[in-house]
Amino acid sequence: MAVYKRIESREAPSNSRGPVHWVMTNLFSSPLNSAMTLLAIAFLFWIIPPFIKWSVIDANFKGTTSSACTGDGACWVFIKMKLDMFLYGFYPEAEKWRVNLTYGLFFVLIASFKYMKNSILKIVFTFLYFIVAYILIHGGFFGLVEVDTNKWGGLMLTIIISAVGIVCSFPIGIIFAFGRTSRLPIIKSISVTYIEFIRGVPLITILFMSAVILPLFFPEGITFNKLLRALIGITLFEAAYIAEIIRGGMQAIPKGQYEAADAIGLSYWQKMFLVILPQAIKVAIPNLVGTFIALFQDTTLVLIIGLFDLLAIVQLASSDSHWLGYETEGYVFVAVIYWIFCYAMSLYSKKLEKKFNTNLK
């Protein structure tokens, strides 16, 4: 009879753990990696110290006019004095509390999702939030002063365009994804034509079409403001890409899932919404978030139809005769804002991937 002796676990050798081991394994594991690491370090030393010196050490933070900016450092006074314009565009000063309240309600909505287990309830509350947000920002209801969309701008407009584009294009994209995988020739042909046409045209062309050609399809006397036209164009453009992403996720689902849904007697829509679509969205989360990030960045193109998003407002503010020559500070500010939002979406994407990860380890 064999006798087995229990061996106690031992710690890993000291030379196979710790920061030194990580550096040697990941940064200096081969001559090529070592050369690339040294080159990257040299590049960082070439870039970072001058930037810190310009943006922090020699920078100007105090003052209210451009005369307060002396030396070769950054003039953050420009950002401080134009901050309201960057955040709200031309929105009336006395009504900015409405925009701030809209932001506050958004964070309340996100926090409440943690305690909502019903997906339908989340959709309903999101729909109600957009109605309340429109009433607050646009006004004209319940005694609120109406603020024309021509006065919307800056970061506020960027967020509005991105949020509406993401929320509205997502269900439309799912519908076209179903249409492209449909067995009905007419529905499939329409879906394929729409998706391939939109994906073959740049967004800037879609925006021109929405601003110039779209009004021609409506009866005489019916007009849409520029913002609504841009929202329609961006939504339709984004929906085509989402449709392809969802279709790719659906194709990644094993055939056995379809057969199992059919075997238990589910209808087509039950099969799609209860079995296939949840799994397809889980697979497509990284690509979906990448598309949403690209949409957030592409909002800068609305400038070509006369809308002043964050980047356009910075360009406009830097053309002020009292603040000429401070475009660099404005662009750095815009870059930081875009990085914060895009990185936050990326982190949330990783959180969702971990939450919905059902793979056995």
What band does 326 get if pLDDT is binned at 50, 70 and 90? Answer: confident
Which are the contacts of 306, defined by CB distance < 8 A and separation ≥ 6? 226
| 194 in Cβ contact with 240 (< 8 Å) | yes
Q: State the Cα–Cα distance between residues 5 and 232, nearest whole angstrom.
A: 72
Lowest mean pLDDT among 80-94, 110-124, 159-173, 183-197: 110-124
Q: State the Cα–Cα distance between residues 184 and 174, nearest whole angstrom.
A: 17
| 291 in Cβ contact with 245 (< 8 Å) | yes
Give residue 8's pLDDT.
65
Q: State the Cα–Cα distance between residues 264 and 274, nearest whole angstrom.
A: 12
| 238 in Cβ contact with 264 (< 8 Å) | no
- Residue 172 scores a pLDDT above 90: yes
Lowest mean pLDDT among 14-28, 91-105, 185-199, 295-309: 14-28
81: nearest Cα among 267, 332, 326: 326
Mean pLDDT throughout 199-215?
Answer: 83
Q: State the Cα–Cα distance between residues 342 and 276, nearest whole angstrom.
A: 29
Lowest mean pLDDT among 8-22, 49-63, 271-285: 8-22
Q: State the Cα–Cα distance between residues 35 and 32, nearest whole angstrom.
A: 5
What band does 307 get if pLDDT is binned at 50, 70 and 90? Answer: confident
Give residue 361's pLDDT.
47
Place of tokens 């003039």: 75
How is the chain split into domains, by residue range?
A: 155-306+327-355
Calculate the CA 78 to chain-centre distance: 27
Query: Could you tell me what percent of the chain has a pLDDT over 70?
Result: 93
What band does 337 get if pLDDT is binned at 50, 70 and 90? Answer: very high
What band does 27 get if pLDDT is binned at 50, 70 and 90? Answer: confident
Calculate the CA 188 to chain-centre distance: 29
pLDDT digits over 55-72, tens only? 888 888 888 887 878 777
On whether the 155-306+327-355 domain is CATH 1.10.3720.10, my answer is yes
Q: Is 154 left (phi over 0), alpha (psi -120 to 50) or beta?
A: left
- Residue 227 scores a pLDDT above 90: no
Mean pLDDT throughout 216-225?
Answer: 72
The model's pTM: 0.83
Place of tokens 């958004």: 106
Which are the contacts of 33, defined by CB distance < 8 A and separation ≥ 6? 26, 27
Give residue 10's pLDDT.
61
What band does 327 get if pLDDT is binned at 50, 70 and 90? Answer: confident
Mean pLDDT of all residues belonging to the chain = 84
- Residue 22 scores a pLDDT above 50: yes
Mean pLDDT throughout 300-311?
Answer: 86
- Residue 98 scores a pLDDT above 80: yes
Give residue 62's pLDDT.
85
Q: State the Cα–Cα distance between residues 255 and 51, nearest whole angstrom.
A: 54
What band does 238 get if pLDDT is binned at 50, 70 and 90? Answer: very high
